[in-house]
């Protein structure tokens, strides 16, 4: 089972992914893509860590998401990727367009082949104001394209709004 969980900031999407990982009854590996670049982000990371069960394995991988998925996916394991859009931000800020395109292609190629359960969390950015800057517009464009491609590959797609999950694809 591959599932894409989308929502805005503080929508409850990570909490839903964590609940579904627990409900899977499988061993869980949490793949975190965030990097602690400032105090605010360190606080967000600490909040997520405190909420997760201690028994869950943690893999911190800001760039090679396809490699992390391939290395840790097992038939008896649930992977939680939190989050796709932070991973995207890491690549866009790195300024390596060719590297990003290669990693994006690797992710899309790897996902259907992964054994076990995978829950992919991402921020839905396409429902707000059109950003003013070139980088933020590119971020929203790339996030939208990535989410569309992943949604086509996933068995289930859920949108979370105000903590309420809405099934988009079951």
Whether 48 is catalytic is yes
Q: Choose among 110, 109, 99: nearest CA to 71.
A: 110
Phi and psi torsions of 39, nearest 5°: -65, -40
Residue with tokens 């939680």: 80
- Exposed, middle or buried, 51 (CB in 10 Å: 0-12/13-18/19+)? exposed
- Catalytic pick from 48, 72, 117, 147? 48
Residue 30 is inside which H or E element, if any?
strand 27-32
* Residues with catalytic function: 48
């Amino acid at each position: 089972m591959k599932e894409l969980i989308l929502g805005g900031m503080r929508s409850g999407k990570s909490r839903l992914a964590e609940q579904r990982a627990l409900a899977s009854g499988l061993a869980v590996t949490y793949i975190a893509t965030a990097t602690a670049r400032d105090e605010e982000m360190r606080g967000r990371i600490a909040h997520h860590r405190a909420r997760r069960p201690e028994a869950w394995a943690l893999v911190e991988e800001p760039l090679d998401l396809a490699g992390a998925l391939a290395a840790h996916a097992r038939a008896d394991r649930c992977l939680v990727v939190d989050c796709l859009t932070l991973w995207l931000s890491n690549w866009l800020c790195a300024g390596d367009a060719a590297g990003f395109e290669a990693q994006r292609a690797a992710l899309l190629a790897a996902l259907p082949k992964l054994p076990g359960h995978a829950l992919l969390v991402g921020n839905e950015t396409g429902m707000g104001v059109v950003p003013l800057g070139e980088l933020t517009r590119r971020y929203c464009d790339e996030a939208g394209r990535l989410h569309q491609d992943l949604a086509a590959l996933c068995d289930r797609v859920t949108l979370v709004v105000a903590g309420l999950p809405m099934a988009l694809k079951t």
